Structures are given as C-alpha cells and as structure tokens.
Amino acid sequence: MQLLQPFDQEKLSIKTMLQMSYLFIAILMIIPAIYSISLFSRHTKRYDHIITNVSRANRLNQIVKFDITNEIWEIVAGKKTFEEGRQYQILTLINSGISTMMESTETEKNMQLLEVANRAVNTLEKYVDMLGEQMAENATVSENEVILEEVRGVASLLYDILQDFIVSEIEVCAITNERIKQTSLTFTRIQLLILLVILGVSVFTSIKVSLSIRKPIQDMETFSFSIASGQLDARIEETHVPELEHLSENLNVMAEKIQELIAENIKEQQNLQKAEMKTLQAQITPHFLYNTLDTIIWLAESERKEEIIEITKAFSNFFRISLSKGHEWIPIEQEIEHVKSYLTIQKIRYRDILDYEIIFDEKLANMKVLKLILQPLVENAIYHGIKNKRGRGRLLVTAKMQEDGSIYFSVEDNGMGFAPERLKAVLDELSDCGDPEKLKSIYGLYNVNKRLKLYYNDRVSLNISSEYGKGANVFFVVPEKTPLE
C-alpha cells in the first residue's frame, strides 16, 4: 500500500496557539481601554463639577449683588413690611448654593473661600435679624439705613469672595483640561505601541500556523490528486497537527469507502442487469406462452372469432411494450396499456373468477416511469391472491397524481391476503438484499422492489397492506420528475 509521508515535527495545537495569541491581543486591548475609560470618566466628572460650581457661583453672585440688597432697601424704604419681604428666602437660597458647592469642591483653597462666604452669609443673616428687631421697635429710618449700609457692605464682600471662587475654579478647570490633553497624548502613544505589538503577534502567529499546516495540507492535496487519478490504494499517515488528525483519518476511510463503493456498484450493476434480464424473461416464460396459445386454440375450436382477435391483439401489444425497443423508461400510459393487455388475456382465461378495474389519471399519460413495474404485481395478485380464494375475485389497478406532485401506483385485490407472520416474512425478504434466486414465490415483488430502489436511489420501495382472508394492497409512490433515457 502506498503511503504519503507527512511533515515530521512535534505535535502542535493550532487551536491553542491561536487562542493564546487572541488572549494576548485581547489583554493588550482591554486593559488600556479600561484604564482610559476610568481616567477619562474621572476627569469628565471633575470637569463637570467645576463647570457646575462656576455656573452656580455666578447665579449666587447675581442674587447677592442685586436681590438681597434690593429686598432690604425696599423694606427700609417702606415699600413693604419686614414680614412681607423675601430676605430670609434669599439667604436660604444662598446658603443652600454654598453648601452644594462645598460638597463638590476638591481644592483646599476653594473650600476655604466657601467657608468665608458661608460666614459672610451668617453675618448677613445677623444684620437682617437686627433690622427686623429695629423695625419692630419702630426705629427711625436713619437707624435702619445704617443696617442697610452694613448689609450692602457684607453683600459686596460676599460678591468678591464668590468672584474669587469662580476665578479659582476656572484655574482648576484649566489645569484639568491640560491633564486631559496630556493623558490623551500619552494614551495615543500607548495605543500606537499596542498596535505595533498586536501587529507583531499577528504576523508571528500567522507565520507559525502557516508553517505548522502547510506541509500536511500539501501532503493531503497530493493524496487527493492520487485518489482523483484512480490510485485508490494511496493512503496518508497520521499528521502531527492535532487539528488535522481526524481529517487524515477520514481521508483514509474515504479512500477505503470509495474502493468498497466501487466494488458494490459493480456488483449492483451486475445485479441490475440480472434483474432486468429476469424481468424480461418473466414476461415470456414458457408457462405463460403455452397457456395463452392454448387459450387461443380452444377459442378457435369454439369459433369465437372476436375473442381470438382480442386476445391476439393483447398478446402482441403485451410483448411490444415489454420490449419497448430496449428503453427502460416509458410513458405511464404505455405501462397501464401493458397491464391492460395482460389483464385482457387473463380475463379471457379466468372469466368466471376475475373482474378488474383500472383507475388512471389522464394527466399522467406522457410522464415517464420505469417499465414493467405493475404487471408483476398484477400477476402476483392473481396467482397468490385471487386464485387461492373461493368465489369471484376483483382486481383494482390505480395510477394517480397526489397533491404534492408525486405519483401513486397500487395493485389491490380481494384475494386471500397475507397472514400476519407471512406478511412480516415477505417484508423482511423485500428489505433483504440477499440472493434473489432463493425467493421463489415473492420473486416478482422482490424484482420490482429491487429495480425501484436501483433506479430511484432508495427513495422508492414497495409497501404492502393486507388483512388475511380479505385481500392485499401492494403500492408505491414515485417522484413526478423521473430521469429520462
């Protein structure tokens, strides 16, 4: 046996090699990505706090500069009473804003500024309380204006503090922005470095994998060419690449199977030729010839001219279709005509015990079917079914198209039928591919079943349904589109 030598190297797992390289690449991609996301998230959060604090401080400045002083002035001027004024609401709003900014401020300097601002707000609140007490005691306008000036002074101081806070936060924002720029630049450099590393790993893995499988693949290609050129004794030894081990084994199995299939195919062709010859011989058995000729003789002696003409035409037509100029596929109309000719002969011979009916779908007339597949079934029904029954027998031959486009054929009789154990034995014999010479009584059924399987690639086979004492139905279904000669 010819052996193709594989590439001699240590066993390497391509799967493991690729997995390790993919894992390495994934780590190189994921770790920097996680780090960058975390870093940019922190900077973004800080940047957002700064912008929010600046915006909030700017709004508080407007409140400090205008709202609180205007509200106190209107109270002192007598435009509204102390109780009607919004001074405490404004102070609460300022206090709340400063407290919120203190929670999100990160630098110590800005925290100190906010603490000073908070004390200034407390001072404002004391002066507002003093104003309320004076007005409750009906103090003079000049005394109240003194308090108003103090409020304006503290408000101006608070305004300046908040302005310093805004400037300081903007400086922090500028520093944060610069850090973001530096981080982006650094990360870009890291990404370029990672890209170069990944490229290197990919090239290395590609070369390594290519070297690992190139020679085994070349050996397998040579092996396949050997098989294709007819050298079915060629074999390939086990490769040293784990992923290709099963492939090399399967290729050897394939070569062995091809040899076996070719041998089986030769045997099947021989069996097919035998079956075809037996089928043709079955149509011209001496027994059938003698019986038909004897029937013609006694019809002539009885001077039954019309029946002589009828049986002679049927006899001639029967053999004409049997031969069919060597064709294996004939129109279904001719196959039905062949059965009708056979039944015409048998009807004349068994007039007292045989009635028959043929149901034929005219749409099937020109469709092709394997020839001589119905007559053996009809013959089997007459000789093994109807003749073994007392009284008149009835035979029904059917050829019709089904809803799915397939074609249904059946030969049904009301003869003796099959006993359950006999039916099982017949079905077993039909499914067995043994020597057809040993079948005897079911040879006709076996021969039809064999030819159907050979010509339709096992898609079609005979089916039998039967009830003992009531008859049997032998049927099969073929595809609508059949191969033509």
Tens digits of per-residue pLDDT, 97-138? 888 888 888 888 888 888 888 898 899 889 888 988 888 888
Mean pLDDT value of segment 53-81: 85
% pLDDT > 70, the chain? 86
Distance of CA 139 to the CA centre of its chain: 92
* pLDDT score for 357: 93
| Structural domains of the chain, with CATH | 14-208 (1.20.120.1730), 284-478 (3.30.565.10)
Mean pLDDT value of segment 315-344: 87
List the structure tokens of 292: 């038909």
Q: Which of 157-161, 249-253, 352-356, 383-387 has the lowest mean pLDDT?
A: 249-253
Asked whether residue 8 carries a pLDDT value surpassing 50, the answer given is no
Torsional class of 411: left (φ above 0), alpha (ψ -120 to 50), beta (otherwise): beta
List the structure tokens of 114: 């906010």
Question: Do the strands 393-401 and 354-360 form a parallel or antiparallel pair, or are they unpaired?
Answer: parallel
Partnered with residue 396 across adjacent β-strands are 357, 412
Mean pLDDT value of segment 233-252: 71
Q: What angle do CA 43, 163, 124 make, to 5 degrees?
A: 120
pLDDT tier at 428, thresholds 50, 70, 90: confident
pLDDT tens per residue, range 34-52? 877 777 777 777 778 888 8
Asked whether residue 436 carries a pLDDT value surpassing 80, the answer given is no
* pLDDT score for 193: 85
Q: Are 377 and 411 in contact (CB under 8 A)?
A: yes
- Best CA proximity match to 373, nearest among 479, 472, 279, 480: 279
Q: Which of 286-300, 350-364, 415-429, 467-481 has the lowest mean pLDDT?
A: 286-300
* pLDDT score for 285: 60
Element (H, E) at 235: strand 235-236
Asked whether residue 273 carries a pLDDT value surpassing 50, the answer given is yes
- Provide the 10 A C-beta neighbour count for residue 308: 17
Question: Do the strands 368-370 and 354-360 form a parallel or antiparallel pair, or are they unpaired?
Answer: unpaired
Q: How far is CA 42 from CA 33, 35, 110, 183, 282, in A?
A: 14, 11, 19, 12, 95
* pLDDT score for 241: 66
What lies within 8 Å, CB to CB, of 107 at 6+ separation is: 168, 172
Mean pLDDT value of segment 1-20: 56
Q: Are 434 and 266 in contact (CB under 8 A)?
A: no
> What distance in Å separates the CA atoms of residue 300 and residue 311, rounded to the nearest whole number?
11
Asked whether residue 29 carries a pLDDT value surpassing 90, the answer given is no
Asked whether residue 225 carries a pLDDT value surpassing 60, the answer given is yes
Residue 180, Cβ density class (10 Å: 0-12 exposed, 13-18 middle, ≥19 buried): middle
What lies within 8 Å, CB to CB, of 336 at 6+ separation is: 358, 360, 374, 397, 399
The model scores a pTM over 0.85: no
> What distance in Å separates the CA atoms of residue 145 and residue 134, rounded to the nearest whole number?
11
* pLDDT score for 438: 55
pLDDT tier at 2, thresholds 50, 70, 90: very low
- Best CA proximity match to 329, nearest among 264, 281, 276: 276
Q: Are 372 and 435 in contact (CB under 8 A)?
A: no
